[in-house]
Structure 1
Amino acid sequence: MSTNNPIETQPVENNLERQRTEINYSSKFQPLVSTSKRGKGNDELNFPFCVTVDKMTGYIYIADCPNDCVKVFDSTAKYIFKFGDSNGEGMMYYPRSLVICRGRILITHHHGILNYTLDGKFIPGIGKQGKGELEFNYPKCISINESNDDIYICDYYNNRVQILSQDFQFKSQFGSFKHPRDVKLLKEYIYVLDESNPCIHLFNHNHILLKSVISRGRGNQVTNPYSFFIDNSNNILIADYSSNSISIFNPEFQSIHNIPVSEHPTSVTVDNHDRVIVVCEHTVNCLQIF
């Protein structure tokens, strides 16, 4: 799978250090908070594509895709403000993913990356359509390597992951995938969610494939994985779009629980209080907190 290195399968360490007590996911069978308003209004959503949490404030940031904006809610799901639109400076067109890093929020949209402060002030970003360095073809997920602030982008139709420095300089790329949807970093490992079977691929920091895990398809572990999140105990939470659930796997990739959600989850995260936060689309277009 790597264009920079030959494919090499190596053993993966299973004794990753646990950072805190395991979350009791089995107790999360119905939401503490559930909003469901579809539309263009301030507190309404229309196909929310991604959710993340500012661990400092507890604010919930949602990429409200067809509404061409990011909406911000407090920890009780009360609307606070929004930023971005399809016109003017910082034109936002179908935002798909967002990540918070050092007082700013990076957002993938159309064929590039937008850059804003956390209170919604635009900072110039990068990107244009193409196959070269710093060019994209409908990028999906964006993630940050917390050790050096490198930026990892799933370049969906270019079937690769591009790696940029924090000041948007090209550093590296690896692939090729079958439409990578999501990427996460955990210590020295890189997890990529791909539209393949198995669907999650685990690489080391040299982009060498270590193993591919978690089968997809009806009757298998997940049906239609859309995105995923890794909690502080290294469990993997997958937004399983077609099964209307959050599928949870332990660090050894064994299924341990499923959280039923309203309909078609697209994104999941966990906040500082161990609450699972999910956005769903289709008829409900909602934000749920478990």
Structure 2
Amino acid sequence: MTAAINIETEKVKTGIDYTRKIQPLVCASKREEGNDELYCPFCVAVDKMTGNIYIADVYNYCVKVFDSTAKYMFKFGDIGREGKISHPSSLVIYKSRILITHSHSILKYNLDGEFISRIGKQGKGELEFIFPKGIAINESNDDIYICDCSNCRVQILSKDFQFKSQFGPFEYPRDVKLSKEYIYVLDASNPCIHLFNHNHILQKSVISRGRGNQVTDPYSFFIDNSKNILIADYSSNSISIFNPEFQSIHNIPVSEHPTAVTVDNHHRVIVVCTHNVNCLQIF
């Protein structure tokens, strides 16, 4: 089952008034190797308790932490051996821990950047990964869902990082999110978002590439508390927002090539962009 996403559909009501988000409140645009500079920011997450913003900075090989005003605080993962980050691709914050997908494994830190453990290795078996990307937590049982990208599957681990199950196959699973009803998987090569129930049975697939004003290149996505879907549309330089039925709400123009989006407790939309701008924007 498929349903086209189209930006031109009738605007619908949402818990957050996204239509008022036109110009960024903050645009921190920097480049390369300084402590507060970004060089290919790839994903972003917000600590709901403090409002601090965690950004995986790919070519600085670390995670950089900014406060809610985008002021640089500290970084971690760029020194040492066991906890050293190589090409981080996704991160999630849950219960005072941060999980980061990188290379062929998962790294676990506390929110102060102290390394805790490494999970997985390169391969095709259980607890083995090839370029894992999106990661999400099931808040009902703390299961960990990981897009095992080049193995074309999603692996599910228990809260103590034991293998539980897997499902797929996909062509290029880049991101995963969960609600009480669905598991959402962004299959980027099609591209489309697949909606599964929690028995891993496909319910529908929503096509997200098309002509005109449709989403063209979804890179990652976020689901807010009202179950609205925010999609970082890389090639269109925008954040496309849809209600739970995938009707259009709004389209936020951003600097260039957004790779990730999230929403904080104050209903601010937080975006990281890469390519020539390498910036953090807050709407």
TM tier, smaller: over 0.9
Percent of aligned positions with the same letter in both sequences?
79
State the distance in 1 between where 2:278 and 2:230 align. 20
> The residue matched to 1:207 in structure 2 has which SS?
coil
- Runs (4+) of structure 1 moved beyond 4 Å? none
Cα 1:197/1:117, change in 2 over 3 Å: same
Counterpart residue number, 1:166: 159
Counterpart residue number, 2:194: 201
Cα 1:88/1:197, change in 2 over 3 Å: closer
Whether 2:254 is the aligned partner of 1:261: answer yes
Counterpart residue number, 1:50: 43
Counting only pairs closer than 5 Å after superposition, residues 137-152 of structure 1 correspond to structure 2 as: 137-152=130-145
CA contact (8 A) 2:129 2:151 kept: yes
State the distance in 2 between where 1:219 and 1:179 align. 24
State the distance in 1 between where 2:161 and 2:73 align. 29
- Structure 2 counterpart of 1:94, from 75, 79, 87: 87
TM-score, normalised via structure 2 length: 0.93
> The residue matched to 2:134 in structure 1 has which SS?
strand
Q: Deviations over 1:191-230 (max 9, x none)?
A: 0000244500000000000000133144362110000000
Counterpart residue number, 1:4: none
Counterpart residue number, 1:154: 147
Q: Deviations over 1:133-155 (max 9, x none)?
A: 00000000111001111000000
Counting only pairs closer than 5 Å after superposition, residues 28-67 of structure 1 correspond to structure 2 as: 28-67=21-60
State the distance in 2 between where 1:246 and 1:109 align. 25
CA contact (8 A) 1:92 1:109 kept: yes
State the distance in 1 between where 2:58 and 2:43 align. 9
- Structure 1 counterpart of 2:182, from 177, 189, 193: 189
Counterpart residue number, 2:278: 285
Counterpart residue number, 1:211: 204
State the distance in 2 between where 1:280 and 1:185 align. 24
- Structure 1 counterpart of 2:73, from 69, 74, 80: 80
Whether 2:267 is the aligned partner of 1:274: answer yes
Structure 1: give runs of 5+ residues left out of the alignment. 1-7, 10-20
CA contact (8 A) 1:221 1:255 kept: no
- Letter of the 1:39 counterpart: E
- How many Å apart are 1:87 and its aligned residue? 4.6
Counterpart residue number, 2:100: 107
Structure 2: give runs of 5+ residues left out of the alignment. 3-13
- Letter of the 2:227 counterpart: N
TM-score, normalised via structure 1 length: 0.91
State the distance in 2 between where 1:274 and 1:286 align. 20
Number of residues of Structure 1 aligned to a counterpart in Structure 2? 273
Q: RMSD of aligned C-alpha atoms? A: 1.6
Counterpart residue number, 1:14: none
CA contact (8 A) 1:198 1:212 kept: no
